[in-house]
Amino acid sequence: MEIEYLVIFLPLFGSIISGFFGKLIGSRNSEIITSLFVSISAILSFFIFYKVLNENYTNNLSIFTWINSGALNASWSIYIDSLSSVMLVVVTLVSSLVHIYSIGYMSHDPHKQRFMSYLSLFTFSMLILVTSDNFLQLFFGWEGVGLCSYFLIGFWFKKESANAAAIKAFVVNRVGDFGFALGIFLIFYLFETVNYSEVFDLIPYSSDKNLFFLGFELNAINLICILLFIGAMGKSAQIFLHTWLPDAMEGPTPVSALIHAATMVTAGIFLVVRCSPIYEYSPFTLNLITLVGMATALFAASVALVQNDIKKIVAYSTCSQLGYMFFAAGVGAYNVAMFHLFTHAFFKALLFLGSGSVIHSFKDEQDISYMGGVWKKLPYTWILMIIGTLALTGFPFLSGFYSKDAIIEFAYLRGNSFGYFAAGIGIFTALLTSIYSWRLLFKTFHGSFNNQKIKIEGIHESSMVMIIPLIILAIGAIFSGFLFKDLFIGTDSSSEFWKSSILFLEPLSQDHPPLWFLLLTPFLVILAIPISYYLFVKNKKIVSYIINGNLPIYNFLKNKWYFDELYEFLFVNPSKKLGLYFWKKIDLRFIDRFGPDGVSSLIKSISLLAVKFQNGFIYRYAFVMLLGFSALLTFLIIK
Residues that bind another protein (CB under 8 A): 64-72, 76, 136, 139-140, 143-144, 147, 150, 154, 157-158, 160, 163-164, 166-167, 170-171, 174-175, 178, 181-182, 184-186, 188-189, 211-214, 575-576, 578-580, 582-583, 587-588, 591-592, 595-597, 599-600, 617, 620-621, 624, 627-628, 631-632, 635, 639
Q: Which is nearer to another protein, 458 or 579 (CB)?
A: 579
Closest CA to 388 of 353, 357, 347: 347
Q: Which is nearer to another protein, 284 or 583 (CB)?
A: 583
At residue 470, φ and ψ (nearest 5 deg) are -65, -40
Q: Which is nearer to another protein, 60 or 163 (CB)?
A: 163
Q: How far is the CB of 258 from another protein (least distance, A)?
A: 21
Q: How far is the CB of 219 from another protein (least distance, A)?
A: 14
Burial of 364 (0-12, 13-18, 19+ CB in 10 A): exposed
Q: How many CA atoms lie within 13 A of 47 on its CB side?
A: 11
Q: Which is nearer to another protein, 104 or 144 (CB)?
A: 144
Q: How far is the CB of 326 from another protein (least distance, A)?
A: 23
- CB atoms < 10 A from the CB of 521, how many? 23
Closest CA to 320 of 398, 226, 434: 434
Closest CA to 471 of 401, 403, 383, 391: 383
Q: Which is nearer to another protein, 568 or 587 (CB)?
A: 587
Q: How far is the CB of 115 from another protein (least distance, A)?
A: 14
Q: Which is nearer to another protein, 164 or 305 (CB)?
A: 164
Q: How far is the CB of 637 from another protein (least distance, A)?
A: 13
Return d(Cα 250, Cα 239) in angstroms, integer. 20
b (16+ CB within 10 A) / e for 468-478:
ebbbbbbebbb
- CB atoms < 10 A from the CB of 156, how many? 16
Residues 228 and 274 sit within 8 Å (Cβ to Cβ): no
Eight-class DSSP state of 572: I
Q: How many CA atoms lie within 13 A of 86 on its CB side?
A: 27
Return d(Cα 268, Cα 238) in angstroms, integer. 9
Q: How far is the CB of 262 from another protein (least distance, A)?
A: 23
Q: Is 415 left (phi over 0), alpha (psi -120 to 50) or beta?
A: left
Q: Is 387 left (phi over 0), alpha (psi -120 to 50) or beta?
A: alpha
Q: How far is the CB of 180 from another protein (least distance, A)?
A: 10
Q: Which is nearer to another protein, 151 or 281 (CB)?
A: 151
Residues 151 and 198 sit within 8 Å (Cβ to Cβ): no
Q: How far is the CB of 150 from another protein (least distance, A)?
A: 8
Q: How far is the CB of 189 from another protein (least distance, A)?
A: 6
The per-type count for the chain, helices as H runs and strands as E runs, is: 27, 4
Residues 395 and 401 sit within 8 Å (Cβ to Cβ): yes
Q: How many CA atoms lie within 13 A of 273 on its CB side?
A: 32
Inter-residue long-range contacts of 454-459, CB under 8 Å, 24+ positions, other chains counted: 454/362, 454/363, 454/365, 456/373, 456/374, 456/377, 458/363, 459/361, 459/362, 459/374, 459/377, 459/378
Q: How far is the CB of 590 from another protein (least distance, A)?
A: 8
Q: How far is the CB of 506 from another protein (least distance, A)?
A: 32
Q: Which is nearer to another protein, 98 or 223 (CB)?
A: 223
Q: Which is nearer to another protein, 65 or 539 (CB)?
A: 65
Return d(Cα 328, Cα 302) in angstroms, integer. 20
Q: How far is the CB of 84 from another protein (least distance, A)?
A: 19
Residues 537 and 311 sit within 8 Å (Cβ to Cβ): no
Closest CA to 140 of 124, 152, 127, 128: 128
Which residues, in sequence order, are bridge partners of residue 212?
217
Q: Which is nearer to another protein, 267 or 291 (CB)?
A: 267
Return d(Cα 93, Cα 85) in angstroms, integer. 12
Q: Which is nearer to another protein, 20 or 397 (CB)?
A: 20
Q: Which is nearer to another protein, 143 or 280 (CB)?
A: 143
